[in-house]
Amino acid sequence: MRRSWLPVGLLWLGYTVLLIALTKYVAILPAQWAEEAQVVDEAFILLMYLGSPVMALVLAVMTWGIIGWRSDGADREDGPNQQNNRVLVTTWLVITSALAIGVLINPGFVGLAEIRGEPSSDYVIGIQAAQFFWEITYPNGETALDELVVPAEKRVRYDVSSVDVLHSFWIPAFRVKIDAVPGVPTQVYTTATAEGTSDDDVNLRVQCAELCGAGHAAMAMPVRVVSDAEFNEYIESLGGSE
Amino acid sequence: MKYLIRAIVLGIVGYIVGVWLTLAIRGGSPTDEVAVVFGFILALIGWLAGIGGIEAFGRQWIGKTPEVSTARGWQRYFQFTVDHKVIGIQYGVTLLGVLLIGGFSAMIMRIELASPGMSIVDLEEFNKLVSMHGILMVAVAVAGIIGAFGNYIIPIQIGAADMAFPRLNALSYWLVPPVAIGLLSAPLLGSFSAGWTAYAPLSVGGDSGQILFNMAIITFGLSSILGGLNIIVTVITMRAPGMTWGRLPIFTWAGFATALLAFTVTQFFAAALVLITMDRVAGTDFFGPDVGTGILYEHIFWFYSHPAVYIMVLPGFGVILEIATAFSRKPLFAYKAVVGSLLTIVGLSVVVWAHHMFTSGMADFLQAPFMILTEAISIPTGVIFLSIIGTLWQGKLWFRTPLVIAFGWLFNFLIGGITGIFLADVATDIFLHDTYFVVAHFHYTIVGGSIFALLAAFFYWFPKITGRMYNDKLGIIFAVSVTVLFNTTFLPLFWVGINGMNRRVGDYPQAYESANKFASVSALLLGSTFLLFVGNIAWSAVAGPKAGSNPWNARTLEWQVSSPPSHHNFRSQPVIVGPPYDYGVPYVVFPDAEPAPEPDESGKEVLV
Ligand code: HEM
Ligand SMILES: [Cu+2]
Ligand SMILES: [Cu+2]
């Protein structure tokens, strides 16, 4: 029994280090354009770290299974009659429960609280979804269809609704999404952190993220993050253009 | 064959009568959805009567003794046969066919997705493909292992001659072909495009194919419920003397747990679809945009469909655990903890559904409880992994095809499980929900956890069921290439999802092209490896050596009878005197694995 602990342990360590290094040095997450994105990304990375040793353990056993425990089988010999190990099972239960509780607290509850944030906002922007476009209503009552302009460094509340079927309001660069539900208003908050346009990052777009019919894939529009002053100028100009 | 022909004829007659009656009563056109609904119902009744329901049930209703066919040859596969082994094979072959059709539609999707822009289908056709692929595959995953191997193996594993309700069992199976026919003929009415989830209100509008989807899936639900009931009663009442609950083979336990779930939750999907059907044909307005029931459908739907993922994967656990003990020549590690975990999963799985709804706009106070309960499921699931690890630990691992696939399963389901945590966490799910991350995740769990287990079960029990071996080298090549290509197909899709590509889209921004192209090429290669699978079966049919009764030298009861087992499995009632996996116990001698035409050992094991 004893002789497998060492190689499996070493493999476990090796894989864990490898996976953690991969998480640390390979940038798999896209650029962040909002405070909410930071919350989500932190939670994501934390889960990658916590998942690494778990993943590594099973990989280590599989690897050593192939190298160390392989046997011809034709000799029809049995392995040891090891049926249970109460201490091991209990330890396992304790560790996995602790891990589950840990994940629940952080990123679980912490992330939930942070992503929701305070129910206060500098601006309220209305978003009405319909097959297959978004109608934006800015704080001054002006509406627009082709582009969402949001101020940087300001907390914005989006009041999301739908006139026909389910849609989902999603800005990948901000990470957050909320469904647009016919008959039931929903809300989401974001605070953009930097100015930019969808030419800078394909993820600066509003993308429908709930199947809504033939035009679902194309139900997207660019997002432009501008300074607060520019934002106000922009929404005023919408009125003038009529 | 004559029953099958009669079933088809009566099915068509039923359809015509249903449509005709509807038109006679209310007028309209034969493609009206009401007409289709009544056509479908009468067609179903005609089909069941024709296939053998007249003899098996109808005769009883007029006071005569019911008759069931006792045909022996290949014909028995095409009629209402009550032998659980025949039914298992019927399920297996039917669902394998559905798997191939579903796989074919995946290939078309991957070709379309190889580059941005639309090339071979348009956006709406793509939605129809996704929906068709999804529902066909879900059906395979829900019924594959339990329908084919549950039916074939469970009665033998518990030492029974058949299922508790053989006629009901045949009925469960014969409800399945109409499901496949209904779904596959939906394109005649414009098909369905609301995804396999059929969210309302989208599914209340749209082409009339949706009505066939509804009727087919309600029928499929009926089949699942009856099948589940049968397994529950069989395991409770038909166990051989000495087959205590603590000696039940783990695959049987897993099948029992699955059956409990299938029996209790399937009606919710059916109920949701009945509501949609009523909205479409009966003028009700359960889900109209102004009713304010926006997310009601999602609640009902996921109340079934989350447990359904365990209906898909619990039998997979059973198969892999069974293979782990047999091929490491060790007892199942922590048997009792595994059983406890299976039952805990059954319990927890019905209270986590709203983790699919973190972005649905449901009340905020519901988020935390559903996150807690969902993450709690990782604990019993972890015990399953512990048992696999403990069983493999210092075993005598015999790397034949079933174990190689089981290793692939372990790797895939590990990734599926770990990525599941990201979707159970509210913060990350708000980002990842409805992206390709989810697509990759559920392929790792459904394909990785259920279809890989189905393949493993196939290679494990194939010699038992056919009496012949397949080519093990070819089997291993298949197992390795499926595992590798599956991973090269779906790993890049995690990246694609994280980087902002949403799911259920036929077109996408340029930025995701290279990863999608890579996935598409892998997917086509993955699809073509199934030629190896088919080739291996063909090889076995032509040149496969006789397998003998116990080619793996395994301990459970099905390996102690001939391959294939005789009509009622056992010559005399077996009596169980020991635990199911007493590998490594020196004084136990097992019946030899030489080919034995008929079993003659009455007990599982012979003590010297
Ligand atoms: C060669 C193997 C496969 C490939 C390449 C493949 C590919 C795909 C693709 C491209 C989608 C569309 C994803 C989206 O836009 O949401 C999809 C959806 C889906 N697939 Fe597969 N798939 C394969 C096998 C399977 C299998 C074996 C199963 C289950 C047993 C399965 C179950 C599903 C389900 C449930 C959906 C969701 C459908 C929906 O959104 O309504 N797939 N698959
Ligand atoms: Cu949409
Ligand atoms: Cu779920």
Q: Tokens 């040891």, residue?
A: A80
Instruction: Assign A171 to helix, strand or coil.
Output: coil
Average pLDDT over residues B126-130: 96
Q: In this predicted structure, what is the pLDDT of residue B498?
A: 96
Ligand nearest to the CA of B448: 1
Any ligand 1 atom below 6 A from CB of B196: yes
Task: Quote the CA–CA distance of A115 and B431 in Å, as a whole number.
Answer: 11
Instruction: Assign A161 to helix, strand or coil.
Output: strand
Q: Tokens 């979707």, residue?
A: B423
A94, B53, B93, B533 from B470: Cα distances, Å: 44, 37, 17, 10
| Summary mean pLDDT of chain B | 92
- Please provide the size of chain A in residues: 242
- Tell me the Cα Rg of chain B: 24
pLDDT at B134 over 60: yes
Residue B115 — φ and ψ, nearest 5°?
-145, 155
A1–chain B Cβ distance below 8 A for any pair: yes
Tell me, in angstroms, the distance from the centre of ligand 2 to residue B387's CA: 43
Task: Quote the CA–CA distance of B525 and B490 in Å, as a whole number.
Answer: 13
pLDDT in tens, B154-176: 999 999 999 999 999 999 999 99
Q: In this predicted structure, what is the pLDDT of residue B589?
A: 52
Any ligand 1 atom below 6 A from CB of B138: yes
Q: In this predicted structure, what is the pLDDT of residue B596?
A: 39
Task: Quote the CA–CA distance of B183 and B339 in Å, as a whole number.
Answer: 36
Q: Do B359 and A177 touch (CB under 8 A)?
A: yes
Side chain identity at residue B233, one-letter code: V
Task: Quote the CA–CA distance of B81 and B71 in Å, as a whole number.
Answer: 8
Tell me, in angstroms, the distance from the centre of ligand 2 to residue B488's CA: 28
pLDDT in tens, A97-122: 999 999 999 889 999 888 888 889 99
Task: Quote the CA–CA distance of B583 and B246 in Å, as a whole number.
Answer: 16
CA distance B142 to chain A (A): 23
Ligand nearest to the CA of B306: 3
Q: Do A97 and B379 touch (CB under 8 A)?
A: yes
Given the DSSP bridges, would you call strands A155-162 and A220-226 parallel, antiparallel or unpaired?
unpaired
Task: State which of B439, B494, B502, B517 you would mutate to test the pocket of ligand 1, scoring each by most atoms of that ligand within 8 A of its C-beta.
Answer: B439
Q: Both tokens of residue A25?
A: 């040095």
Counting atoms of ligand 1 from 1, which one is nearest the CA of B131?
Answer: 41
For residue B154, give the H/E element and its range.
helix B151-157
pLDDT band at B238 (very low <50, low <70, confident <90, very high): very high
Q: Do A84 and B336 touch (CB under 8 A)?
A: yes
pLDDT at A1 over 60: no
Quote the pTM value.
Answer: 0.94
A51, B194, B297, B376 from B203: Cα distances, Å: 38, 6, 11, 33
How many other CB atoms sit within 10 Å of the CB of residue B116? 15
| Of the candidates A3, A4, A7, the residue with the CA atom closest to the CA atom of residue A15 | A7
- Identify the residue with better confidence: B583 or B10: B10
Any ligand 1 atom below 6 A from CB of B106: yes
For residue A172, give the H/E element and its range.
none
A44, A58, B314, B355 from B424: Cα distances, Å: 12, 21, 19, 6
Q: Both tokens of residue B24?
A: 């006679």
pLDDT in tens, A179-196: 999 989 999 999 999 999
CA distance B305 to chain A (A): 17
Q: In this predicted structure, what is the pLDDT of residue B583?
A: 87
For residue A180, give the H/E element and its range.
strand A177-180
B109, B110, B249, B308, B505 from B126: Cα distances, Å: 7, 10, 44, 25, 8
Any ligand 1 atom below 6 A from CB of B446: yes
Side chain identity at residue B363, one-letter code: A
Of B294, B364, B433, the CB nearest to A183: B294
Question: Which residues of chain B are within 8 Å of residue A216 when distances are taken between CB atoms?
Answer: 123, 127, 504-505
- Please provide the size of chain B in residues: 608
8-state DSSP, B63: T
Tell me, in angstroms, the distance from the centre of ligand 2 to residue A154's CA: 27
Average pLDDT over residues A155-176: 96
Domain boundaries, chain B: 66-606
Q: In this predicted structure, what is the pLDDT of residue B224?
A: 96
Q: Do A182 and B294 touch (CB under 8 A)?
A: yes
pLDDT at A84 over 90: no
Average pLDDT over residues B570-588: 82
pLDDT band at A76 (very low <50, low <70, confident <90, very high): low
Average pLDDT over residues A45-54: 96
pLDDT in tens, B171-182: 999 999 999 999
Q: If you take atom 33 of ligand 1, which residue's CA is the nearest one?
A: B134
pLDDT band at A2 (very low <50, low <70, confident <90, very high): low
Task: Quote the CA–CA distance of B8 and B421 in Å, as a whole number.
Answer: 47
CATH topology (fold) of A123-240: Immunoglobulin-like (2.60.40)
8-state DSSP, A144: E
Contact B246, B578 (CB under 8 A): no
pLDDT in tens, B398-436: 999 999 999 999 999 999 999 999 999 999 999 999 999
Q: Do A30 and B583 touch (CB under 8 A)?
A: no
Q: Both tokens of residue B544?
A: 């496969």
Q: In this predicted structure, what is the pLDDT of residue A115?
A: 87
Q: Do A208 and B502 touch (CB under 8 A)?
A: yes
b/e string for B168-194 if b means 16 or more Cβ within 10 A? bbbbbbbbbbbbbbbbbebeebbbbbb
- Give CATH superfamily name and number for B66-606: Cytochrome c oxidase-like, subunit I domain (1.20.210.10)
Task: Quote the CA–CA distance of B97 and B136 in Å, as a whole number.
Answer: 10
Residue A130 — φ and ψ, nearest 5°?
-150, 160
Side chain identity at residue A165, one-letter code: V
Any ligand 1 atom below 6 A from CB of B493: no
Task: State which of B110, B128, B133 you would mutate to test the pocket of ligand 1, scoring each by most atoms of that ligand within 8 A of its C-beta.
Answer: B133
Task: Quote the CA–CA distance of B270 and B284 in Å, as a whole number.
Answer: 17
Domain boundaries, chain A: 2-66+96-116, 123-240
**At what angle are helices B296-328 and B123-143 packed, to 10 degrees?**
50
pLDDT in tens, B291-302: 878 789 999 999
Q: Do B383 and A73 touch (CB under 8 A)?
A: no
pLDDT in tens, B329-380: 999 999 999 999 999 999 999 999 999 999 999 988 999 999 999 999 999 9
Given the DSSP bridges, would you call strands A155-162 and A186-191 parallel, antiparallel or unpaired?
antiparallel
pLDDT at A66 over 80: yes
